[in-house]
Chains A and B, each alone.
Chain A
C-alpha cells in the first residue's frame, strides 16, 4: 500500500468522437474527503468507472493505493463503492443483499453495520423490488460504510435521500474520515460538498478546472474579483462562476 488513495495520470476516455474525460491528473490522499464536482455529463461517473476498472481508459492510468485499477482482485481490497443509480437483485431482501455484498466485498464490521441499519431506518425484510430509489441507495450506502475499506467511492450518493437521511449520510462520511478512510464523493449538491469535503475538484466537459480546498476556492475568487466585495462567497456562486453563469 502506498500513501496515495487514488492517483490518476493522463486518464482519458473517449466514447467514439465524444471526449468524456480528458487527461485527468488527480491525487486523493488517505483520510481525506474529496469532493468531485461537476454538472451533469461532466464525466464524474466516467471517472469513477475508470477508477473501478469497469471501463478501460483510452489513455492514461489510474491506481488505487498503488494497485492498477484494472487489477480488480487487488485494487478492490481497498475500496467500497456506491453507484449513482443503485440497482439491486429484485428477489433478494435487503438483509440478503447486505449478506451477499458482505461476502463478496473486502470485509465488514457487523456491529457498525447493525448500527447503520438502525440509523438509516432500513426495512430489511422486504424484497428489493419493493424498494424506492432512496431505499436502494440506503442499502448500498450501509453496505459501503460498513466495510472498513480505506477508500469509499460514492457517486452522487445522497440524490435520493430525504433531509433526515441526508443528515445521517453526512454523519457517516465524517465518521469514516475520523476512522482514517478516504472518501471520494462525486456530487452536484453544493451544500453537501461544502459541509463535508476537505478538498474539491471541479470538472467540466471532461476537463479538470480546479483542485483546491473550499477556503482556497473562496480566496481565489475574491482576489480574482468575481465576487462582491466584503461578503463570503458561497460554493454555489463559485461553482456557477466556473460554468459561466451569473449567480442568482
Chain B
C-alpha cells in the first residue's frame, strides 16, 4: 500500500517535475556557462555592478554578491526567478495531489483501509522533497565549475525554497477544505515572503527582515560571496517544522474534513447567479481580489524605490551614456524602469488567466458541467463567459499595477503608467488564447499551455539575454516584440499581430470545445 501511494504520487507529479528540474538545471548551467562571453571585460563588469547595486534593481533581483564571477552572476540573474518557480511549483503540486484529490472524493476509497491521511501526506511530501533533491543535483552540477562551495550553497538554497513551498502547502491543505483556498493561502504566503525580501533589500533599516523569509535567507547565504550556512540551516529547520506541524494537523482529522471548516450554514447570497457570465464573475471575484492585493503591494513597493534609478543616473553620467547607447530599453530611466516592471505584470496576469481556464476544466472533470450544460445555454457560451471573467480579471490586475506604481511615487504620470500596463496586455491575451485552445483540444494541459506564452516566453528572453541567444530563436517569444512603453511609443503592429493570434486561438479552441464530448 505504501509503495502504491509513492508510485501514484510519482505518476501524478512526474510530468511537471521533469519540466521544473530541466528548467532550473538548464537555466543555471547556461547562464553560468556563457558568463565569460557576456561579461567580457572590466567596463562591462563595472556597468553591471552599478546597475545591480542600484536600490531599485536590488529590490527586484536581490542584493548581488560576488557579481564578478560566473557563480555570483548566475545567482543574481536566475536565483529569484528559479526560487519562485520552485516554490510556486511546490505549492501548486502539493495542494493538487493532497487537498485536490481529497476534495474530489478520490481519497474516500484510498483511505478506507488502514492508510491514514497523515500517512499519505508523509509519502507525498517525501516524493516532492525527492524532486527537490534532484533540483539540488542539477543546480549544483551546473555551477560546479564556478566553485564547489558556492554551488552547494546555491543548490541547497533553491531546493529549500522549493521545500518551503511544499511544506507550506502541506499545512494549508490540512487547514482548508477546498483546494483553491489551500493553494491561494499558500501562494499568498509565498508572495508575502517575496515582498518581505524586497522590502529588506530596498530599505536599509529593514535588512533584518531577510531572516523572516525563505528568499531572504537564501540571499543571506551569499553562495559566491562569503558563503554562510547558518541562514540555510534556519530555513531547513523552518521547513522541517512546517512539515511536522502539517503532519500533526493531518493526524486524527476526517477524510474531506479540515481544521478550518468554514461556516457550516450561511444565508444565501443570490448575487451573480443570473447568467453564465455573472456566475463566472462570481467564481472569479475572490481570486481577482487576492491577486490584486498581491500585485498592488508589489507595484507599490517598486514605485517607492523607483526614484533611485534617476539618482543613479545623475550620480553616474557614464552609466547614463551607456543606457542611451543601449537603446534606453535598459533600466536607466524611470520610464524605462517602469516599462521593464510592467513586462513582469504579464506573468501573474497570464498565470491568472490560465488558472481561470484550468478551473473551468476542473469543473468539467468534476462533472459539474453535466448539470450546467443541461440547460438551454449552449456550451460555447459557458466557455465565453469564463473567457470574459478571465479577461476582466487581467484588466483589473493591469489597472491595479498601474495605479500602485504611480501611487508609489515612481515619478511617472498616471497616463504613462496606464499606457505601460496596457502595453503588455496583448501578451496576456496570448496566454488566454493558448489556454482556450487547450480547453478545446488538450483539456488536461490547460495550465501548462496557458503558461507557455507568458512564463515560457519570459524564460526564453531572460535566458536569451543572459546567454546571447541567436535572434531567430528569440523572435518566438512575444516579449521580443514588446516596445518599452512608456519609455518608447508602443509597437502597434506587433500588438495587433499578437491580438490576432489570440483571437484565432480563442476561436479555434471554442470551435473544438463545441465539437468534442463533454468529459467528467
Contact = CB atoms under 8 A, between A and B. Distances in A.
B368 A73 contact: no
A101 B375 contact: yes
B237 interface: no
* Majority DSSP secondary structure for residues of B touching A: loop
26 contacts: A54-B370, A56-B515, A56-B516, A72-B379, A73-B376, A76-B376, A77-B376, A79-B374, A80-B374, A83-B370, A86-B367, A87-B368, A87-B371, A87-B520, A91-B178, A99-B273, A100-B279, A103-B273, A103-B274, A103-B275, A104-B275, A104-B276, A104-B375, A104-B376, A105-B375, A140-B371
Interface in A99-143: 99-101, 103-106, 124-127, 129-130, 140
B516 to A, nearest CB: 8
B315 interface: no
Contacts of B266: 93, 125, 127
Interface string A38-81: 00000000000100101110000000000000001111110111
B518 interface: yes
B177 interface: yes
B394 to A, nearest CB: 23
Contacts of A88: 368, 371
Contacts of B516: 56
A80 B378 CA distance: 15
B37 interface: no
B327 interface: no
A72 B264 contact: no
A21 to B, nearest CB: 13
A101 B372 CA distance: 7
B173 to A, nearest CB: 15
Residue from B376, B378, B520 whose CB has the most chain A CB atoms within 10 Å: B376
Interface string B372-387: 1111111100000000
A81 B373 CA distance: 10
B141 to A, nearest CB: 43
Contacts of B368: 87-89
Contacts of B106: none
A99 B367 CA distance: 19
Residue from B103, B363, B517, B520 whose CB has the most chain A CB atoms within 10 Å: B517
Interface residues of A, number: 39
A6 to B, nearest CB: 15
Contacts of A104: 275-276, 372, 375-377
Contact of B268 (A105, A106, A125): A125
A52 B518 CA distance: 10
A85 interface: yes
A83 B177 CA distance: 25
A166 interface: no
B273 A126 contact: no
A96 interface: yes
Nearest to B267: A125
A52 B374 contact: yes
Residue from B270, B276, B371, B518 whose CB has the most chain A CB atoms within 10 Å: B371
B289 interface: no
Interface in B240-296: 262-270, 273-276, 279, 283
Contact of B273 (A86, A96, A130): A96
B366 interface: yes
A83 B461 CA distance: 48
Contacts of A129: 103, 177-178
A236 to B, nearest CB: 29
Interface in A223-244: none
A246 interface: no
Interface of B: 103, 177-178, 262-270, 273-276, 279, 283, 363, 366-368, 370-379, 515-518, 520
A178 to B, nearest CB: 23
B367 A85 contact: yes
A161 interface: no
B374 A86 contact: no
A95 interface: yes
A90 B363 CA distance: 10
Residue from B178, B270, B273 whose CB has the most chain A CB atoms within 10 Å: B273
Contact of B518 (A55, A93, A101, A103): A55
Across the A-B interface, the 10 shortest Cβ-Cβ residue pairs: A87-B367, A81-B374, A76-B376, A95-B268, A54-B518, A55-B517, A104-B375, A125-B265, A83-B370, A100-B273
A154 to B, nearest CB: 11
A106 B374 CA distance: 10
A111 B373 CA distance: 25
Contact of A81 (B279, B371, B518): B371
A86 B371 contact: yes
Contacts of A83: 367, 370-371, 374
B366 A96 contact: no
Residue from A55, A80, A90, A140 whose CB has the most chain B CB atoms within 10 Å: A90
A72 B268 contact: no
Contacts of B263: 127
Contacts of B371: 81, 83, 86-88, 101, 140
Given A87-B368, A100-B279, A126 B517 contact: no
A214 B342 CA distance: 71
A74 B266 CA distance: 36
A210 to B, nearest CB: 28
A90 B517 contact: no
A162 to B, nearest CB: 19
A72 B378 contact: yes
B273 A52 contact: no
A129 B270 CA distance: 18
Contacts of B177: 129
Nearest to B380: A72
Contact of A90 (B178, B274, B375, B376): B178
B376 A106 contact: yes
Given A96-B270, A130-B264, A56 B517 contact: yes
Contacts of A55: 517-518
B322 to A, nearest CB: 54
Contacts of B265: 125-126
Contacts of A103: 273-275
Given A89-B368, A99-B270, A49 B517 contact: yes
Nearest to A126: B265
Nearest to B379: A72
A42 to B, nearest CB: 19
A104 B378 CA distance: 11
B43 to A, nearest CB: 59
A125 B363 CA distance: 22
Nearest to B268: A95
A104 to B, nearest CB: 4
Contacts of B273: 96, 99-100, 103
A206 to B, nearest CB: 16
A49 B518 contact: yes
